[in-house]
Amino acid sequence: MANFWKQVKGWFKEADESSPTKPFIEERLERTDAEQEDLRKWKLSNSCLELCSVVYDSFLEEKNHPALTFLKLRSSSGFVIDLEKEKTNLRDAQRFMDFLREKVLALNYKRQNSNYRLYSKKGKTEKIERFYMKPRPKIVESGQVDQLYGNVIIELTIREEVPLSLKFQVNGYSDRNYTDSRTFGALMEKVFG
C-alpha cells in the first residue's frame, strides 16, 4: 500500500511540474461520431455565423475588434480570438476549431498531427487542443513543391474547462524547394467566403 501512495504523490508532483512544452498528459485528439454530427448541425447555426462574421468582417474591413488580433509577419499570418471576451462556451469553441480544420483539409491539406496537452499553470489545469496540417505534396512545373498557403496550426487553449483563446496560424516556407505561398487573404476567402 505504501508504494501505491508513493506513486500517487509522484503523479501530483509531475502535474505540478508540467508546462505546455512538458505536459503531464499528451494524447491524440479525436472527435467522436456524436461530436461530428453535432458539428454538422452547428455549421448551420447562428453561433457559427456569428464567429465567422467576427473574424472575416474584421479582416475584410481591417477594423479592430476587442476580442481579435491578427498576426501579420513575413512568413507567418493568422489570428487569435480571445474567447473570454467573446463569451464563447467550450463546445462552441471546439466546434469552431473543428470547422476551421474541415475548411483547411478541403483545400488539399492533410492532417499531420492532432493532439491535446494537459498541464498545470499557476495551480490550474490548462489544456491545449491542436491541429497541425500540411499541404499534400504536389510538384509543379518549376520542380518545386507547391506549399499552397503554408502549414496551418489551429490551437484552442482551455483553463479549467473555460476556453481562453483560439489561434489560427499559417507558416510559409522561404526555401527555394517550395513555391511562394499564396496570400493569407486568399486563404481567408476560401475558409470564410
Per-residue pLDDT reduced to its tens digit, 75-113: 899 999 999 999 999 999 999 999 999 999 999 999 999
Candidate from 7-11, 25-29, 97-101, 117-121 with smallest mean pLDDT:
7-11
Q: How confident is residue 62, by pLDDT bands cut at 50, 70 and 90?
A: confident
What is the pLDDT, as a whole number, of residue 8?
Answer: 43
Cα–Cα distances (Å) from 137 to 24, 101, 109, 147, 173, in that order, read: 34, 18, 9, 8, 14
For residues 29, 85, 57, 79, the Cα torsion angle rounded to the nearest 10 degrees is -50
Q: What is the pLDDT of residue 19?
A: 64
**What is the C-alpha separation between 193 and 189, in angstroms, rounded?**
4
**What's the rounded mean pLDDT across residues 140-164?**
95
Taking each helix axis as running N to C, give the angle between helix 90-105 and helix 33-42, from 0 to 180 degrees, rounded to the nearest 10: 90
CA separation (Å) from 147 to 158, 180, 183, 189? 31, 7, 11, 17
The CA distance from 61 to 172, in Å, is 24
AA letter at 57? D
Q: How many CB atoms lie under 10 A from the CB of residue 138?
A: 12
Across 23-27, 53-57, 107-111, 161-165, least confident range: 23-27
The residue to which cell 475548411 is assigned: 103
Predicted local confidence at residue 82, as pLDDT: 96
Output the average pLDDT for the chain: 89
Q: Which of 37-46, 70-79, 93-102, 160-169 has the lowest mean pLDDT?
A: 70-79
Mean pLDDT of 28-41: 95
Is residue 4 pLDDT above 60, yes or no?
no
Q: What is the CA 113 to chain-centroid distance, rounded?
A: 11
* φ and ψ of 174, to 5 deg: -120, 65
